[in-house]
Amino acid sequence: MEGSQSHSFLRSGPLYTYTAYSIGSFIAWGIVWAIVAATLPNKTLNYILVLFMGWVIGWTSATIARVLYPPPKPRHPAA
């Protein structure tokens, strides 16, 4: 059985970067905030704010780790 071909959108390129992921994530959160603010009461907004702040903390941690730690060295198969 042959492996499936990956979609051209998922291949490495300008959209397959951490920057693109970050921008897309912030856009998604903006959409979530717009929908929640328009449809749910203020008490629910506080819960969404806590979730968003948790995501921001995780995103910040990942960003710091990507900047400070070098990428792993490529493994070479044993001879």
pLDDT digits (tens, 9 = 90+) for 1-34: 444 555 555 555 677 788 888 999 999 999 998 9
Q: Is residue 2 part of a domain?
A: no
pLDDT digits (tens, 9 = 90+) for 35-79: 988 898 888 888 888 999 999 999 999 989 988 987 778 877 766
Q: Is residue 77 part of a domain?
A: no
Q: Is residue 7 part of a domain?
A: no
**Structural domain boundaries enclosing 27:** 15-67
- Cα dihedral 23/29/32/38 (nearest 10): -100
Q: Is residue 75 part of a domain?
A: no
- Cα dihedral 8/13/19/22 (nearest 10): 10
Position 32: which residue type?
Answer: V
Q: Is residue 74 part of a domain?
A: no
